[in-house]
Structure 1
Amino acid sequence: MTAPRRLSPDDPCLLDVLDLIQRSFAFMDGRIDPPSSMHQLTLAALQDQSRGGEIWTIGTPPAACVFLTPRPDCLYLGKLAVDGNHRGTGLARALVELAATRAAALGLPVLRLQARIELTENHAAFARMGFRKTGETAHPGFARPTSVTMERAVPGSRAQN
């Protein structure tokens, strides 16, 4: 598999990323409520993400991707997706480790992500990668938690030195 690659807003691979996310998140349909935001994801949204944050992929066409968004107190990981044929091969872990490297370079002390409350297998996978649950949130209009917030400290971040 190839090394991770950062995509630019005009990268033609963005369409492949959109397809990867839609295929990888399809199993959530009917399982999570509210439905995944991937249903509103467009090429324009991916281009905006790559301008305001970062989109990284592994493989050509992409076998895995992750969105990284710098925030004042953390690097937020979103839309981590791995093609079904490549699950269990370490691609998600490689992208999380890349995120830790990027966070350290940006001086951000924490990686943060959210996983849907129903996706307990994702919670367990992220826990194996060093994340711990730090909270729960509810989407607008929901009285119950719909997402779990998880964080992982970033050793070596300039902010911690």
Structure 2
Amino acid sequence: MSVLNFVRRAFAYMDGVIDPPSSVHRLTEDAIARQAEAGEVWLLEDEGRPIACLFLTLEPDRLYIGKLAVEEAFRGQGLARQLVALAEERARARGLGRLELQSRVELAANHAAFAAMGFEQTGATAHEGHERPTSLTFTRLLG
């Protein structure tokens, strides 16, 4: 299974839940290849197929976590925590003091999971055309 197919499947539970729809619907193999060149793409696999992933983007003062996803059958086993630990390691290696990610407002279970991993909500933004916040920003300071 390709990374693109995995990410789309892992994010499918958001369809009909979040507004606007996830950017995963616009994601392409070329975009993933560009992410791997300009940033990092990490996978955890089981028997050669992706079961979890993480995209990392270097920002001037932080490491941004994107497309953190775990296949439904493997959730609750600490894989997201393992990938966030990897992100922390990568940030520290670059001398960065924080991780940042965004989550849609409607995904309260994700917010709780991020809080359990040491993230705090530090902002809220609205997608174009929306007056209400549609995404929350979460930050984890690295001591």
Secondary structure of 2:58's counterpart equals: strand
How far apart in 2 are the matches of 1:28 and 1:94?
23
RMSD: 0.8
Q: What is the alpha-carbon distance in structure 2 between the residues aligned to residue 148 and residue 67 of structure 1?
A: 18
- Residues 74 and 112 in structure 1, CA contact (< 8 A), matched pair in contact too: yes
Aligned counterparts, 1:91-106, within 5 A: 91-106=79-94
Question: What TM-score, normalized by structure 2, do the two folds share?
Answer: 0.96
Whether 1:76 aligns to 2:64 is yes
Q: Aligned match of 2:115 in 127, 141, 152?
A: 127
Larger fraction in strand: 2
Amino acid at match of 2:90: R
- Contact 1:29 1:36 survives alignment (8 Å): yes
- 1:118: how far off? 0.4
Q: Distance in 2 between matches of 1:27 and 1:56?
A: 21
Aligned to 2:49, the other structure's residue is in SS state coil
Q: Give me the identity figure in percent.
A: 56
Matches within 5 A, 1:1-161: 16-59=2-45, 60-155=48-143
The Cα shift of 1:20 comes to 1.2
Count of residue pairs the alignment pairs up: 141
Cα distance in 2 for partners of 1:140, 1:73 equals 25
User: What letter corresponds to residue 51 of structure 2 in structure 1?
Assistant: A
Which secondary structure does the structure 1 equivalent of 2:17 belong to? coil
| Greater than 4 Å deviation, 4+ residue runs | none
The one-letter code sitting in structure 1 at the alignment partner of 2:25 is: H
Which ranges in structure 1 are unaligned for 5 or more consecutive residues?
1-14, 156-161
What is the distance in 2 between the residues matched to 1:56 and 1:79?
A: 10
Deviations for 1:31-86, whole angstroms, at most 9, x for unmatched residues?
Answer: 10000000001100000000110000111211100000000011000000101111
Q: Give the structure 2 partner of residue 7 of structure 1.
A: none
TM-score, length of structure 1 as denominator length: 0.86
CA–CA separation in structure 2 for the residues paired with 1:102 and 1:53: 11
d(CA) in 1 for partners of 2:96 and 2:61?
6
Aligned amino acid, residue 18 of structure 1:
L
